[in-house]
Amino acid sequence: MSPRQTGANVARGGRQQLDVRGLLCPLPVIRTQERVESLSTGTLLDILATDPGVLQDIPAWCRVHGHGLVATARDDTCIRITIEVCET
Amino acid sequence: MKKAIALISGGLDSMLAAKVVQEQGVHVEGLNFYTGFCVEGHTHAIRKKRQVKPRRNNALWVAEQLGIKLHIIDVAEEYKDIVLNPKHGYGQNLNPCLDCKIFMVDRARTWGVAERDFDFIVTGEVIGQRPKSQRKETMPLIARESGADDLLLRPLCARNLAPTRPEREGWVDRDALYGFHGRNRKPQMALAESFGFSDYAQPAGGCCFLTDAQYASKLADLWDARGARDYELDDIMLLKVGRHIRPARHYKLIVGREEGENRYLEGYRNRFLHLRTAGFPGPLALIDGAPGPRDVTLAARILARYSRGRTLPRVDVSAHHVNGVVELLNVEPLPPTELPAAWHV
């Protein structure tokens, strides 16, 4: 399953934020999975994290579940990963 | 098409078991449990020296190789009862492997068969592979006590066991399953090669910290010091990090061993009395327990012993109390000869 590189589509499902700063993998992945279960297709989810492991694990989780990886960004204090909930 | 839920640890056996069933045209999805004691993930994140290696979650990686969905379930809270009260006892350390396997198969049954539309459960168990949980006599016990009964298929050793319902009803072909047994890994490696798998995790001590003697010793110490067999998630996370030094029953130090651990301990500093060296780099130490003033001075001397000032006659250490008060101490680093080996947990 290859990742779906998608563009922002705020109108379809809105945009939400998940703060998993301070949690170590795999907890950020688990919290993402739990949140995505309640979101509708097209929703963008901004995940804020501190464990660099999320840079590998959340894209991998998106790939196996068919969700879209929209963007990743990192500064000194925080990692932000945006995913799009897709029909799976 | 029949559907199977496969326990995926991230290791080779569960990967092969899922693949064998997949090859028979069964739809397979993976299930991975987070107990809090998983070696996966946390250690990679905490220890700086490991960060030079590619960081990956092996269970997710296996799912990608197989092209299956992987559901990671947080069972840390309910898993406590397995650790604290294992019906079948512990293995060599504090590893309740048999109860753990029963618990996980039961959860897979509940999650997959009872609550969703999966038809059966797949595990990578091999008779004789593990001394505590994977023995000929434990296989039916796990099936029975988990409630999975004959919906539990072990594709790697199925031909050494009585036919399960998936075999009897023709959901899978028993002749295309395997009869592996014992600790020899060659059959699994040959099967991996036949599937084209060349890169897979081979955890030497299993995937659980409870099988680790040093970790188990720290957990036993925690229970002894608190006078109760219990823990919170933060407790078991902190046992994975740093030097644990207990000068007395009522307190211990957790001293970061390198930058990654110090950074991790920083996340806990507001919840603990913590010590830092002043004037030059040194580790961060959290104090767990209820130390008195003399204890804090001794803890400062121990911290100084692990700082760059260890050879100096005196070192400044700041003690940051939970109420926000910062106490400045000037202490003599504790000579190694005055740090008894018995204090190291």
Query: What is the value of ipTM here, to two decimals?
Result: 0.87
CB B11 within 8 A of CB B200: yes
Average pLDDT of span B10-30? 97
Is residue B229 a part of any domain in this protein? no
Is residue B157 a part of any domain in this protein? yes
How many A×B Cβ pairs under 8 Å?
68
Is residue B17 a part of any domain in this protein? yes
Residue of A nearest to B53 (CA): A53
Structural domains of chain B, count: 2
**Predicted TM-score of the model (pTM):** 0.89
Strands B27-34 and B315-320: unpaired
Is residue B168 a part of any domain in this protein? yes
A78 at interface of B, judged by CB pairs closer than 8 A: no
Contacts with A63 from chain B: Cβ below 8 Å: 64
* Predicted local distance difference test score (pLDDT) of residue B51: 52
Residue of B nearest to A1 (CA): B67
A30 at interface of B, judged by CB pairs closer than 8 A: yes
Is residue B224 a part of any domain in this protein? no
The reply to whether B55 and B199 lie within a common domain is: yes
Q: pLDDT tens digits, residue range A15-73?
A: 999 999 988 889 999 999 999 999 999 999 999 999 888 999 999 999 999 999 999 99
Amino acid at B10: G
Q: pLDDT tens digits, residue range B37-79?
A: 987 655 555 655 545 555 688 999 999 999 999 999 999 999 9
The reply to whether B204 and B70 lie within a common domain is: yes
In order of their start, the domains of chain A are: 3-84 (3.30.110.40)
Instruction: Determine whether A62 is an active site residue.
Output: no
Distance to chain A for B167, nearest Cα, Å: 28
The reply to whether B262 and B324 lie within a common domain is: yes
The reply to whether B88 and B169 lie within a common domain is: yes
Residue of A nearest to B41 (CA): A25
Is residue B219 a part of any domain in this protein? no
Report the CATH number that the domain containing residue B36 is assigned in CATH: 3.40.50.620
Number of Cβ within a 10 Å radius of residue B234: 12
Q: Do the Cβ atoms of B73 and A30 come within 8 Å?
A: yes
Minimal Cβ distance to B74: which of A24, A30, A57: A30
* Predicted local distance difference test score (pLDDT) of residue A9: 44
Q: pLDDT tens digits, residue range B221-278?
A: 999 999 999 999 999 999 999 999 999 999 999 999 998 889 889 889 889 999 999 9
Return the DSSP state at A24: P
The reply to whether B135 and B273 lie within a common domain is: no
CA distances from B49 to A27, B44, B55, B287 (A): 22, 9, 12, 25
For B266, the domain range is: 241-343
The reply to whether B191 and B283 lie within a common domain is: no
